[in-house]
Each structure stands twice: as structure tokens, then as C-alpha cells.
Amino acid sequence: MNIKQSLRKISFFDVITILIASIVILFILSVVVMLIFKGIASINKEFFSKEIIFALTLSLSTASISTIVCLLFGIPTAYVLTKTKIPFKRFFEVLIELPLSLPNLVLGLSLLLIFASPFGKMLSEAGFRVIFSKAGIVMAHTLVNLPFVIRMIKTAFRSVDKRLEFIAQSLGASKFKSFLLVTLPLSRNAIVGAVILAWSRALGEFGATLMVVGVTRMKTETLPASIYLNIATGDMGAAMSSAVILLIISAASLFLFNCFQKDMR
Amino acid sequence: MKKNNMVCVNNFSLALGDFHLNQICLDIEEGEIFAILGPTGAGKTVLLESIAGIYEGEKGVVFLDGKRVCDSAPNKRDLAFVYQDYALFPHMTVMENIKFGLKMKKIDKNKGNERINELITLLKIEHLMNRYPANLSGGEKQRVALARALVLNPKLLLMDEPFSALDPKTKEQMYQLIKKIHEAFGCTIIFITHDFNEAQRLAFRIGILIGGSIRGVCESQALFHGNMEKDVEDFLIRKEINMKMVSNLN
């Protein structure tokens, strides 16, 4: 009876939206299922080959370093943009968010131009080599993720009740202490969420990295670069191994992110 | 002998979007309990926050204990603020909320504990110390907010409609408590209300704020006496009728 009643309540609009949602679910499911089936088939000795281990290690280390860099620069920047009065704040906000709407290839190209310039060469001579080096991978990940991290942290800082910060200060806390003891703990979940997403995005980043460091086997070979290289040479097994590893890491990151989101709600 | 002014609001004007505070002038003596009475949307909270130095006016100035309030950092102003919804730190226990000020001011531990014990006994919140604000009732939250505000023995206590969310019985208890606190700590208290019965019961003097302007300041017992402008009279008469209706119903 309940099912009948529920069915009677479904309108034409509901039917259309359910149909569209079903197409979306099937579309995404087909991609995931294909990856899983082909991936399982590729789990053989290639899965733990030297090359895949190298790509995994390089990806994990560069993604982790770039996420830390994003956090170290993102938190103070988000603070300035949300909690202080500076001139041209709106302009700076748009400027910082601009990379979000640019293709990663373009971002990589601009990094390449900067570090291939006399300034870049000067840095290289001083020991800070970016082009075709691991530092370049970190730099590319940072450029792609920093605006995203800043945006997420800004939203979190804005949602913290300003009155709590004022009360903390009226009780003797300096601005720094009130930030450390009130704003930051109350934004904790959003910051952790930003870290997880930035890290998983960095793991999968390819376009900007390709432009800055190229794709050299066992040198600048991250997991996405490994897929590209192995597809180019027709080694489907090795490409699928990297893809499966990325899928597992992404699924785990998404699961963690959702746990924190649930906690936030 | 005339006491010093704790708060002096001198020709203070402020615009916040469409809302304006217009040329506010107020002198509040040290140790006084002062009520800001007005209808909803009159600008009571903005005025109280301006006294706390949250807003800097476009014209005029607010002096706190003889100093321009906005010239000193919030942590040097020696005031405490209790908001309508109490604004307790949600990620801290009651004990951590109360201890916050003591930690920030680096008060000696023994002295601090003495102060906390005095307050928790006065406010009867011993049993709440390990709870988080989310697990407290409105009355309990208010007591905790008061303890947190008073722990540093501030010169000025600002309260934004502190009793509006409480039931009549708890309200009555809180009136007694505020009087006790005032007797015990002698701080200047400014509170906001739209309930003139509350204003008369607690305050020495009342300032009537309507449409962003102070329309009169009087002794609390003289609230319904004297000549007032029509809209002020209307506000007071409406309130008086409401109060009579409520007491008749009771």
C-alpha cells in the first residue's frame, strides 16, 4: 500500500529528473566498472614493477609536499582575504581564483615561461631548479591547487562567527591567539577536507606538470604521466596498473572527505 | 559626589547599509546599571557593539574610561560582552570557556581557580563544567556566558538582550543574580532590552532608542512620567498596554 501511495505521489517532473539522474549514474558507473574490471585483469607482476613503484612514490611525495605548501600559503592568504581590511581586496580575490578557470596546460605553460626566463635561469644557477625537476612537479601542483585550497579555507573562515573572535579578544586574546584558538579549530573540518581534496587532485594532475617537467620515464614519471607514457608505447597493462592505483587512492580520499563533511554537518 | 563616566558616547553616528545610528550622546557612570530600551530594529545591538568598539563611527567618538575605545586593541579594553545567544566557544567545554580569559591574561593559577570557584558557586554551574555548550539549556548557557565574562572582573559588562530566550522563572532568577553580581563585583553594566519591565527592575537609568536615535534618558522609575515625543509615547504606551494585558491574563 505504501509503495502504491508513493508511486501515486510521483509527478511527471519527478519522472523526468529521475530519468536524467539515472543516465548520469549509469554514465559514471560504466567508467568506474570498466576501470575496475580492466584493472583487476592487469594485476600481475607489472602492478608492482619498478616503474610503477617509482611513479607511485614520486606522485605521493610531490602531492604531499605541494599540499603542505598550499596549506602553509593558503591559510594566511585566506585570513587576509576574509578577516582584514585591505585595499582592492575584491580584485585580489578574483586574481587568486583566476587559475581555477584556466586549463592546467595554460597554467603549466605560464610556469614554463617564468622559469625559462632569465629570472628562472638565475634561480636555477642559485640551486633552485624547476624545469624538468621534482621541484617543478611540486610547483605545478601548487599553482593548480592553491586557489582551490584558498577558496575552501576562505569559505570556512567566513562561516566562523565574528562575535566569537571578538569575545576571545575581549577576554585578552591577541589577534593571533584568537585565530589559533577560535577561528582555526572551528574551521578544522573544512581545512582537513581541503587538504584531502587538494592532495587527491595533485595526485591526478597532469596538464601543468607535463608543461613544466615533461614526461621522462623514471625521472619525472608521476602516476598520470605513467599512464600517458605506457599508452603511448602500447603497454596497456602498465597503464591500467597506474590507473587502478589512482582509482583506489581517489576512492579512499573521497571516502575520507565525506567522513569529514558528515562531521561538519 | 558625582562619579566618573565609564562610558561617554559623544555625538556618535554610524551608517550600516540602510541603517543609521544618529548623533548618539550618552554618559554612563561608573558602577551604574544602564538599560538601552527600544523596539526591534531600533539599533540597540549596533549601539552596544559600537560602545564595545566593534564599529568605528563616521562621526563622533566613544570613550571608555576616558580613552577612545577604538584606539586600544580589543584585548586591552577591559570589557566583557554577553550576546543574546551567549556565543560560547562551541569547541570548548564549560570549564575551558570560563578559563579562556584567565589563560589569555596569564593569571596566576591559584588566583584563577579561586575566582572560578567563586563564580561557579554564585552562578550554580558546578555540575556543568565538563559539558559542551551544545548540551546546555538556555539558562545554563547564560550562566556560563556570565561566568566567562566576569572571570576577569571587567570594568564594563555589556549584555545584548540577555534574558530574551529565558522562561519567566529563569528570568526572575537571573534578575536576582545580576543584582548579586553587581553588588559583588561593582562593574558598570549596560544591557539591551525591549522589555521595559525588565529595564525598570534592573537599571538605574534607561535610554530609549528608536530609529537609531536616543530619544530620551530617564531614571528607571520615571519612565512613564514627563513629556516625551509622540513616537516614544506610542512605543511606551503600547508596551504598557501589553504588560497590563499580560498581567490581567496571569
Q: Is residue B144 within 8 Å of B177, Cβ to Cβ?
A: no
**Within an 8 Å CB–CB cutoff, is residue A167 touching chain B?**
yes
Domain residue ranges of chain A, discontinuous segments joined by +: 1-42, 46-264
pLDDT value at A214 more than 60: yes
Average pLDDT, chain B: 86
Q: What is the ipTM of this complex?
A: 0.86
Residue B233 covered by a domain: no
Residue of A nearest to B106 (CA): A172
What's the pLDDT score for residue A45?
63
In-domain check, residue B132 = yes
A168/B100 Cβ within 8 A:
yes
A168 touches chain B (CB under 8 A): yes
Q: What pLDDT sits at residue A181?
A: 96
Q: Is residue B249 part of a domain?
A: no
Whole-prediction pTM value? 0.83
Higher pLDDT, A113 or A46: A113
Q: What sign has the CA pseudo-torsion A165, A170, A175, A179?
A: negative
Mutate to test the interface with A, among B46, B55, B83, B100 (most CBs of A within 10 A): B100
> Which DSSP state fits A100?
G
Among the partner-chain residues A163, A170, A182, the one whose CB lies closest to the CB of B80 is A170
Asked which of A115-119, A230-234, B143-147, B240-244 is least confident by mean pLDDT, the reply is B240-244
pLDDT tens figures, B31-79: 999 999 988 888 899 999 999 999 988 899 999 988 999 999 999 998 9
Using a CB–CB cut-off of 8 Å, the residues of B that contact A are 52, 54, 73-75, 77, 79-81, 83, 87, 89-91, 100-101, 104-105, 148, 152
Contact predicate B115/B131, CB 8 Å: no
Residue A237 has pLDDT above 90, yes or no: no
- What's the pLDDT score for residue B1? 43
Three cell numbers, residue A39 = 584493472
How far is it, in rounded angstroms, from Cα A16 to Cα A176? 53
B104 and A172 in contact by Cβ < 8 A? yes
Structural domain harbouring B124: 80-153
Question: Within a domain: residue B222?
Answer: no
Percent of chain A with pLDDT over 70: 96
**Averaged pLDDT score across all residues of chain A:** 90
Closest CB to A169: pick one of B74, B83, B90. B74
Q: Do B81 and A166 touch (CB under 8 A)?
A: yes
pLDDT of residue B98 exceeding 90: yes
As for how many domains chain B has, the answer is 1
Residue B171 lies in a domain: no
B221 inside domain: no
Q: What is the 3-state secondary structure (H, E, C) of chain B?
A: CCCCEEEEEEEEEEEECCEEEEEEEEEEECCCEEEEECCCCCCHHHHHHHHCCCCCCCEEEEEECCEEHHHCCHHHCCEEEECCCCCCCCCCCHHHHHHHHHHHCCCCHHHHHHHHHHHHHHHCCHHHCCCCHHHCCHHHHHHHHHHHHHCCCCCEEEECCCCCCCCHHHHHHHHHHHHHHHHHHCCEEEEEECCHHHHHHHCCEEEEEECCEEEEEEEHHHCCCCCCCHHHHHHHHHHHHHHHHHHHHC
Answer positive or negative: Cα dihedral of A68, A71, A74, A80.
Answer: negative
Write down the pLDDT at residue B242: 58
Say if residue B17's pLDDT is above 90. no
- Asked if the Cβ–Cβ distance from B89 to A168 is below 8 Å, we say yes
Q: What angle do CA A133, A137, A143 make, to 5 degrees?
A: 135
> What does CATH list as the number for A46-264?
1.10.3720.10
Within 8 A of B90 by CB-CB distance, chain A residues are: 186
Q: Would you say residue B211 lies in a domain?
A: no
- Residue B239: pLDDT band (50, 70, 90) is low
B168 found inside a domain: no
Strand stretches in A74-205, DSSP E = none
Residue in B81, B90, B152 nearest the CB of A172: B152
Tally Cβ neighbours within 10 Å of residue A47: 17
